Amino acid sequence: MHGRSRDSSRPDELHFGPFRRMLRAALVPPSPGAQWSGIASRLGERLLETGAVDAVLAMAPDPEDRWKPRPVMVTDPAAMAGCRGMRMGYAPLLALLEPARALGYRRLAVIGIPCQVYALRAIERELGLERLYVIGTPCSDNTSTENFHRFLALLDESPDSISYLEFRPDYHVEIRFDDGRRREIPFLQLPIAQLPPDFFPLTCRTCVDYTNVLADLTVGYMGGEGRQWLLVRNTRGEELLSMLAGEVSLAQPGSAGRRQGPVRGFLANTERAAGGLPLRRLPAWLRPLVGWLMPRVGPRGLEFARSRVEMKAIETVLHLRRALPRRMYAMVPAHVWKLVEPYGLEPLPGERGPGPG
């Protein structure tokens, strides 16, 4: 779909996959109820408004549990507003492809996380569609909605009134409540140690597609320094972005700080955890100071995004090597080895598979 694979001689493609341009972006004004400014759901709305597609497949909240994702086939542009926001959990988005086809829909858009988009691309040809727009969001880790509820209960004493949660690139988790209150919790103060080791499943801990490389347009926040972060990957991605002309403010993404120290620290901790040892945690008295320092001197903007992609690559190698070593050959693409090389991780005999870089 991009006509080429990632080209590690082009800046940042080793980390983020093929792209034509990267942008910092915000919808102006932001959409109420959106996870960030609402670019993902607004794109779905524009595709329906302009008649470019018959339907958009996306995730809405379950009527019984707002944190449970429920796949929906949207045909009314106004109904895209009901898909705004992020819900942690798994739901079979692509199961809607069959019903869409049965209804005679031949022009579709899908908004999905990387594992959904990967599967979609694998069957795209068989679908026989006239047109397909793929809007992808990055995804670092997902978990079951039940697990997520347990996490919310550890974060706050009134978890049922939490309406929003985000792991922000300024090293804070932001939570919002039904009564309009907000809380910001530094990453270092999160109750991570109290979560079970399988809180994030092995599939997520060994995922090699954080940035949704097969999407036409990736819409995230990681490299956006408080705004959204767009990767326009091909001409269809350009077409999508042009549909927001006049309502989106665009700028060049910035980059600051150095990622090597934090990534090395992450590697050491992941090695300890994979070996069954407790995580090395900062002493309690130091945490507020480091929590204050990280957003100011830690990696920011694109450097933050690069650091997160490298951390995920390290996780893949360490967790897969421990849990399913025989899968290394087939599951670790060549570019992941390049990402972890500066940190002293190299393939053991039999681990390096074929495939492009």
Compute the distance between CA of residue 104 and CA of residue 106 in angstroms, rounded to an integer.
6
Residue 57: strand, helix, or coil = strand
Displacement of CA 82 from its chain's centroid (Å): 20
For every residue of 185-234, DSSP letters joined together read EEGGGS-GGGS-TTSS-HHHHT-S-TT-TTSSEEEESTTSTTSEEEEE-S
Residue number with the smallest Cβ distance to ligand FAD = 220
Displacement of CA 290 from its chain's centroid (Å): 25
Judged by CB under 6 A, the residue of 16, 19, 36, 304 near ligand FAD is 36
Nearer to ligand FAD, 228 or 316 (CB): 228
Shortest separation between residue 106's beta carbon and ligand FAD, angstroms: 21
Compute the distance between CA of residue 252 and CA of residue 65 in angstroms, rounded to an integer.
38
Judged by CB under 6 A, the residue of 37, 206, 234, 270 near ligand FAD is 37
Shortest separation between residue 345's beta carbon and ligand FAD, angstroms: 22
Compute the distance between CA of residue 11 and CA of residue 147 in angstroms, rounded to an integer.
38
- Per CB under 6 A, does 307 bind ligand FAD? no
Judged by CB under 6 A, the residue of 15, 46, 70, 87 near ligand FAD is 87
Nearer to ligand FAD, 27 or 332 (CB): 27
Nearer to ligand FAD, 201 or 353 (CB): 201
Which amino acid does the sequence have at 41? S
Which amino acid does the sequence have at 350? G
Give 329's contacts (C-beta < 8 A, 6+ positions apart).
Answer: 350, 351, 352, 353
CB under 6 A: which stretch of 16-24, 82-90, 120-128, 341-349 binds ligand FAD? 82-90
Judged by CB under 6 A, the residue of 24, 35, 147, 151 near ligand FAD is 35
Judged by CB under 6 A, the residue of 26, 110, 222, 345 near ligand FAD is 222
Contacting residues toward ligand FAD, per CB under 6 A: 34-41, 58-59, 69, 83-89, 111-113, 137-140, 142, 219-222, 228
